[in-house]
């Protein structure tokens, strides 16, 4: 029983240290990230059906461009479901939701199907757009997008940037900002 207790303590310590390492390596600098007032970098990426989607196609509308780490993981599923739950509210504010991660088109298709998502998820497998937006990070040596959202105005300028996003609360925060701006 004593050896079991020591093994538990060692396991907890190792997990704690690995967690610190992961958070530290995943955070990092946001240098190179488009700032409020700057033009949002344009791009074209395939959606969950393999159809190319261009940021330019949303000109004249608000765009909630959110980057997330990984399809079908807890935090990412919560964030996506909350955006889906509020989709009608976004549409009423003339805003489009667009998610981006490094996952494949096929993975996005499964995520949309499983979670009932009706907004585009774009595949950035080569990480070109993620690098351009300054959201690419690493966790335990694996490349993943950081959970960062850009609110892009109808004219294509970055209106607001959220870093350190809480997936449970984020959709409400974005809606509140859109409502404030549209007054």
Distances (CA, A) of 181 to 58, 160, 174, 175, 178: 18, 11, 11, 10, 5
For residue 146, give the nearest of 68, 51, 48, 83 by alpha carbon: 68
The predicted pLDDT at position 15 comes to 39
Q: For each of the domains in the chain, give its residue range(s) and CATH number, in order of start.
A: 31-182 (3.40.30.10)
Q: What is the pLDDT of residues 137-152, one digit of tens each?
A: 988 889 999 999 999 9
Q: What is the pLDDT of residues 89-110, one digit of tens each?
A: 999 999 999 999 999 999 999 9
- The set of catalytic residues is 76
Q: Name the pTM for this structure.
A: 0.83
């Amino acid at each position: 029983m004593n050896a079991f207790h020591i093994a538990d303590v060692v396991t907890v310590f190792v997990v704690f240290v690995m967690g610190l390492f992961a958070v530290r390596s995943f955070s990092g600098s946001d240098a190179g990230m488009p700032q409020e007032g700057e033009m949002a970098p344009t791009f074209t990426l395939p959606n969950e059906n393999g159809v190319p989607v261009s940021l330019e196609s949303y000109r004249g509308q608000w765009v909630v461009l959110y980057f997330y780490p990984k399809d079908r993981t807890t935090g990412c599923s919560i964030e996506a479901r909350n955006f889906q739950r509020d989709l009608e509210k976004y549409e009423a504010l003339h805003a489009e939701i667009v998610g981006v991660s490094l996952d494949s088109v096929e993975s996005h298709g499964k995520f949309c199907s499983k979670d009932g998502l009706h907004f585009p998820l774009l595949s950035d497998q080569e990480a070109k757009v993620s690098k351009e937006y300054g959201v690419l990070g690493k966790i335990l040596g694996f490349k993943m997008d950081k959970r960062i959202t850009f609110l892009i105005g109808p004219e294509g300028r970055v209106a607001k940037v959220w870093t350190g996003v809480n997936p449970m609360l984020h959709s409400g925060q974005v809606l509140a900002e859109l409502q404030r701006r549209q007054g």
